[in-house]
Structure 1
């Protein structure tokens, strides 16, 4: 059915594979291909068939190894309907020279290492706004990753290249003969018009792993390494791959190569003739459409003399042409010493950022902040904590309320006016304790609501943050919201208010810092605050013991991802905690309904959702932040509802209080 639909769409241009004559070579091969279709042009191959085979790898490397971590599509900022008709990373990030660089793997099946290090180089540059222009060494990866990656010049798994970058690090490199990097490529170009002569009969052997830089290079091997932050596979849906490229840069892809491919000259490639020769890995950097035929823009690693426009090719998009499978990408978050390396601001001038946001839409307003964007990064957590741990149970959806009976607007503050703490905005200060704050706030609300207003307490974010331990996460570096709720059920949580509040057992220990409205506190630290020590006792003068002051939960679970199910949970049992991905533009929010506009990922965040509404025909969630009352809409913000904006609807947790 898919094939018939494609034929109906482009009957005059689509290349259909039909078995043809055997043993075609040279100009006869090109003529045959050109006579069979009009999507792409073939030429008498500049690379011999024998040489092409040596540049490929076993097709087993085009498949996912078992247990590969998959990207959660909802963490990507762009919705499917925001994807442009065409995109090219070379023009999107012109300051990144690596994106326009075509490498030459020569007669070695090192394509997996080449495409991987090309993508790594691109993403380092993109994440640092061009400040780091690093030619990541294909030679270091090829020679030193070993059996974990595969078999060197016989092929390797792209995902393992990125795992190696994350776990071990890779030094800088360069083309064969370059003096610029630590470990330039050791295998010389060969064949054709190459000044280095003919290619070896059996292809090159895999270089030996040399953990030292070339003579004359000014850094030692270990000091020269860059590291990846994470690695993951990208689901094969076209829109997901496009959104990933738009948000973070080019990706690596592995696919099957057929005999006709090596004669490619220009146009949109579609398999026309010949048998499978092997697997290949390349770098996708964009897409477009020509004569109604959608395509991917791809950089090959067979030198600038091959293909279209000096080393590139285009291939039909949306039909899994040649079993093209998006295998992996890795965020170019360099320097392993960081908890997570925050991407540099895309526009260094804050006013330019604000102008761009406000000019591009009218849903929300941005404004320049008194503090630099680095301030927000200390309040966030690793994005991994925005995902639900495997095996998290889910609350049964409330069935006593029909979806059609959910009101158009709802605000927990007015629904339960006796529970005054629902409207209390907290200040987590410069610590990534949002996961503990969002939990403590919602637990406090639910304790009051489910006791019919008889137990009106502020539960302690400090108690959760300091005492939950490694089960929850890493304190000021982040934690899993669901584990905070499990801690409430299993261990209980004492009362605790804002910094300095002696009317509760364990108030927050980390002071506010910097300027908040007309109030000036001590300057914020250069790095985030340390996680407080777990003290199982109340502040001096508090009349109740730590144990006796505890309040417990009865249940803890995830909430369905369905919008109506989330709404019914809130209007029945109280506010919930949500975790989502924060992008650069969010820092500049002042008012309105937030929708991602631009910028890289800054980190993960957790907040309390307490209601919803509609403004100007746009549905939104009403959310309490924990960045003090002078941020946003008096401490709150609104965010687009119903589209899983920034992942806010896919990791919601809550529980029932034991009252």
Structure 2
């Protein structure tokens, strides 16, 4: 299976609000994007549901409403003062797909990824490895989960700090259980239509976006970047979409800053314009037998 690589790195936090990024200038951004030459995205026709899909997708779709029994979509986590958004977003996307495709509801442990995921990109980006509160990458965290799966939050409760990797749960009365394998990847099609189709069939989309000063003032509504400087980069997952009264599309996005932030822990963001490069790349998980090569 082929996918592409992201070398956007999630690492930095500021007081009271945690991000997961380093500041990137135009030269660095071009260099990091060039990292994608190593791997290529999946052809949509390689996945059964996308190959055989002729659905007219609805104007409004929210995974949380469609799958109310999926605890990963219901629980809004809080990464606190730790730059581990990459672990929250990737384990959440894996758990969402597992619940949607196999009806297995799991409250995933980002701590397990923080402790044990030390995957590094190929040269020359090996200084951007997944590393607990110091940050991680979308591509590497997806790849690591492909091989190592997720475990339950009860096994490794969140500590807002990287701990020693262990094959035994923190609680003596809990057994480590790795849930079924899901495969992860991205598509060549990063249009709104393509992203909606992947989300509709398989589950939430793991994405990252530039954080600007005006995002720090978000309290509700559809966010569209207007003012301020770019300060950080943050990993989240897209869990739905909708349209404003004038027909303008938006994404529904689950954050990891607690349920008291934004719209009960989520926010909406303008879609179709690659605002803050949120549509630049995305990853999602699916049953491995869906892939037909």
| SS of residue in 2 equivalent to 1:226 | coil
Three-state SS of the structure 2 residue aligned to 1:139 is helix
Distance in 2 between residues matched to 1:111 and 1:383, nearest whole Å = 28
Q: Are residues 1:236 and 2:190 paired?
A: yes
Shift of 1:211: 3.1
Between the aligned partners of 1:99 and 1:383, the Cα distance in structure 2 is: 22
* Distance across 2 between alignment mates of 1:206 and 1:252: 22
Partners of 1:286 and 1:271 in 2: how far apart? 20
Deviation at 1:226, TM superposition (A): 2.2
Query: In the TM superposition, what whole-angstrom CA distance separates every residue of 1:468-524 from its partner, at most 9, and x where no partner exists?
Result: xxxxxxxxxxxxxxxxxxxxxxxxxxxxxxxxxxxxxxxxxxxxxxxxxxxxxxxxx
Whole-angstrom distance in 1 between the partners of 2:228 and 2:20: 16
Query: CA distance change for structure 1 residues 49 and 163 in 2, over 3 Å: closer, same or farther?
Result: closer
Partner of residue 207 from structure 1, selected from 163, 172, 177: 163
Match of 2:44 among 73, 86, 90: 73
Contact 1:68 1:233 in 2 (8 A): no
- Structure 2 counterpart of 1:57: 21
User: 1:236-385 to 2 correspondence within 5 Å?
Assistant: 236-292=190-246, 293-308=248-263, 310-324=264-278, 325-331=280-286, 333=287, 382-384=289-291
Q: Note closer, same or farther for the CA distance 1:93–1:159 as it changes in structure 2 (3 Å cut).
A: same
Partner of 1:272, secondary structure, is coil
Counterpart of 1:37?
A: none
Contact 1:182/1:217 (8 A) holds in 2: no
Q: 1:276 offset after TM fit, Å?
A: 0.8
The match for 2:62 is: 88
- Counterpart position of 2:178: 225
Q: 1:150 to 1:97 in 2, by over 3 A?
A: closer
How many angstroms does 1:133 deviate by? 1.5
Task: Measure, in 2, the Cα distance between the counterparts of 1:152 and 1:87.
Answer: 33
Bigger Rg, structure 1 or 2? 1
Q: Which residue of 2 aligns with 1:172?
A: 152
How far is the alpha carbon of 1:215 from its aligned partner?
2.3
Quote the residue 1:156 is aligned against: 136
Shift of 1:110: 0.6
Runs (5+) with no aligned partner, structure 2: 1-12, 121-128
Could you tell me how far apart the structure 2 residues matched to 1:252 and 1:272 are? 24
Spell out, residue by residue over 1:624-654, the C-alpha distance to the aligned partner (whole angstroms, 9 max, x if none). xxxxxxxxxxxxxxxxxxxxxxxxxxxxxxx
For normalisation by structure 2, the TM-score amounts to 0.81
* Aligned match of 2:9: none
Query: How far off is 1:218 after superposition?
Result: 3.0
Structure 1 moving runs of 4+ over 4 Å: 59-65
Deviation of residue 147 (structure 1)? 4.4
Residue ranges of structure 1 left out of the alignment (5+ in a row)? 1-47, 174-180, 188-204, 334-339, 341-381, 388-659
Aligned residues: 259
Secondary structure, in 3 states, of the residue corresponding to 2:139? helix
TM-score (normalised: structure 1): 0.37
Aligned to 2:95: 121
